């Protein structure tokens, strides 16, 4: 076992982590975060370009001929009021006055990537080629990766031989977890408008009540998971927003719903989205709506499906350098993200989960099995999500450094 990251790189990474954690910014507003990340990469000797696909940052480090490996971390945070009690907890607000918090661990990913880039820049033995470091904006809105590609990211980087990313999860800090297949779901978010016919609540026979139609859609959508999807395949259909806005004595004209559909295979996702559309149209038709419903896909993310060969290479390297007891498997999760857009040029993806829970918090969580403990530990997107930054960062930096060296060995 070796620990490739020198103490100085870890100290600098921890300082960046605390700074970014205390000053989170929402998707699309990552000005300060991008600047802090770019400055750190520049201090490590990387060539840095900013403003790619919004506030995206691209750092490049050339080390002779060899493969090009892109490693990505995210810049953005979430509209949550932090409730961790940490002395560096966020008190920041967005441009619209909303509280903001790094509740997904993107600050950890950024700091680990900066620490890995610093380590690889200062010790160029053991790897060759081109390291591309990406600070991606707007991941939480699933827009940033595609925006960076559309803005010419791959022209800046040249052809890629691998794309790598890691994501913090509530596993013990110091551990990493790889998937044996897809690790995260693909998703489609649909905005549905049911167009009824409003009127006086005393004359329901003269109206087509969109509230009743919308309610029937919610119930009928439950059959997509229970009847249209294979029991062996994890899928989700969730109605997160259902809105009808009229006084109790009025039948509204319209009702709106926002629906998320998720699956771990693209073909399944496409099929289930079609089922959702069919149900919406059928319910509106059977109620006699005077106009067709509107079903607009407002967001889409691809399935996060790591390449088997890259996973085998990186996992072996993690076992060798971190120790087998710190490397585990990760079952498919119905969480989603957009990193797969960065593989648009055909590069294989490497992706693993990074444990973030400190030993005291893990021991204090009730239960003995990981599943029991996970039910009570604050997870990503919780206002109480508080990674054990020193431990998680040390593992996160090491995991990236050994992965790059394994894929770009000299």
CB burial of residue 369 (10 Å; 0-12, 13-18, 19+): exposed
- DSSP structure string for 122-173: H--TT--EEEEEEEE--TTTT-HHHHHHHTTHHHHH-S-SEEEEEEEEEEET
At 402 the three-state DSSP class reads helix
Do 184 and 358 form a contact (C-beta atoms < 8 A)? no
Instruction: Provide the 10 A C-beta neighbour count for residue 158.
Output: 12
* DSSP character string of 303-326: -B---HHHHHHHHHHHHHHH-GGG
- Specify the residue, 36 or 104, whose C-beta has the smaller distance to Zn ion: 104
Query: Whole-number minimum distance, CB 57 to Zn ion, in Å?
Result: 17
In angstroms, what is the minimal distance from the CB of 103 to Zn ion?
7
Nearer to Zn ion, 104 or 176 (CB): 104
Please, which residues bridge with residue 254 across strands? 195
Element (H, E) at 287: helix 266-287
* CB closer to Zn ion out of 3 and 382: 382
Pairing of strands 68-74, 129-136: parallel
Backbone angles phi, psi at 255, to 5 degrees: -130, 145
How many Å apart are CA 91 and CA 298, to the nearest integer? 31
Residues that bind Zn ion (CB under 5 A): 104
102 is in an annotated binding site: no
Closest contact distance (angstroms) between CB of 258 and Zn ion is 17
Which CB, 104 or 147, lies closer to Zn ion? 104
CB-nearer residue toward Zn ion: 60 or 136: 136
User: Minimum distance between the CB of residue 78 and Zn ion, rounded to whole angstroms?
Assistant: 7
Question: Which of 202, 53, 239 has its CA nearest to residue 138?
Answer: 53
Closest approach of Cβ 380 to Zn ion, in Å? 6
**380, burial (CB in 10 Å: exposed 0-12, middle 13-18, buried 19+):** middle
To the nearest whole angstrom, how small is the minimum distance from the Cβ of residue 337 to Zn ion? 6
Residue number closest to Zn ion, CB atom: 104
CB under 8 Å to 291, separation ≥6 — which residues? 195
The answer on whether 281 is annotated among ligand-binding residues is no
CA atoms of 139 and 210, how far apart (whole Å): 34
318 has binding-site annotation: no
Residue number, 75 or 255, with CB nearest to Zn ion: 75
**CB of 80 vs Zn ion, minimal distance in Å:** 11
Q: For residues 80 and 131, which CB has a smaller minimum distance to Zn ion in the complex?
A: 80
Q: Is 159 exposed, middle or buried (0-12, 13-18, 19+ CB in 10 A)?
A: exposed
Q: Indicate the residue among 167 and 373 with the shorter CB distance to Zn ion.
A: 167
**Is 178 labeled as ligand-binding?**
no
Question: In the complex, what is the shortest distance from the CB of residue 166 to Zn ion, in angstroms, rounded to a whole number?
Answer: 11
Measured CA to CA, the distance from residue 239 to residue 126 in angstroms comes to 50
What residue numbers does the annotated binding site cover? 104, 106, 140, 167
What residue numbers does the annotated binding site for Mn(2+) cover? 104, 106, 140, 167
């Amino acid at each position: 076992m070796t620990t490739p990251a020198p103490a100085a790189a870890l100290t600098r990474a921890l300082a960046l982590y605390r700074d970014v954690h205390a000053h989170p910014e929402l998707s699309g507003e990552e000005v300060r975060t991008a600047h802090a990340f770019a400055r750190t990469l520049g201090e490590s000797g990387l060539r840095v370009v900013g403003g790619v696909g919004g506030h995206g940052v691209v750092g490049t480090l050339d080390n002779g001929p060899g493969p090009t490996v892109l490693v990505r971390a995210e810049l953005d945070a979430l509209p949550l009021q932090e409730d961790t009690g940490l002395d560096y907890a966020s008190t920041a607000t967005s441009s619209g006055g909303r509280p903001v918090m790094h509740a997904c661990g993107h600050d950890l990913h950024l700091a680990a990537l900066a620490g890995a880039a610093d380590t690889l820049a200062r010790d160029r033995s053991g790897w060759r080629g081109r390291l591309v470091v990406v600070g991606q904006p707007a991941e939480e809105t699933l827009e940033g990766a595609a925006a960076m590609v559309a803005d010419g990211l791959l022209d800046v980087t040249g052809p890629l031989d691998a794309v790598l990313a890691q994501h913090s999860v509530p596993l013990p800090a110091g551990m990493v977890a790889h998937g044996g297949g897809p690790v995260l779901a693909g998703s489609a978010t649909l905005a549905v408008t049911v167009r009824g016919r409003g009127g006086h609540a005393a004359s329901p026979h003269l109206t087509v009540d969109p509230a009743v139609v919308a309610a029937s859609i919610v119930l009928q959508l439950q059959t997509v998971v229970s009847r249209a999807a294979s029991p062996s395949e994890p899928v989700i259909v969730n109605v997160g927003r259902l809105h009808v806005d009229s006084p109790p004595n009025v039948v509204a004209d319209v009702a709106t719903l926002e629906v998320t559909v998720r699956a771990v295979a693209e073909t399944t996702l496409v099929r289930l989205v079609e089922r959702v559309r069919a149900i919406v149209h059928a319910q509106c038709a059977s109620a006699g709506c005077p106009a067709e419903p509107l079903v607009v896909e407002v967001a889409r993310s691809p399935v996060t499906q790591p390449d088997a060969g890259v996973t085998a290479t990186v996992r072996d390297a993690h076992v060798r350098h971190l120790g087998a007891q710190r490397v585990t498997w990760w079952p498919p999760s119905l969480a989603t993200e957009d990193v797969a857009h960065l593989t648009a040029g055909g590069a294989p993806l490497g992706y693993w989960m990074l444990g973030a829970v400190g030993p005291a918090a893990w021991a204090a969580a009730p239960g003995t099995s990981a599943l029991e403990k996970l039910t009570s530990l604050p997870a990503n997107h919780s206002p109480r999500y508080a990674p054990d930054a020193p431990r998680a960062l040390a593992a996160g930096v090491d995991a990236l450094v050994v992965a790059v060296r394994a894929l770009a060995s000299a």
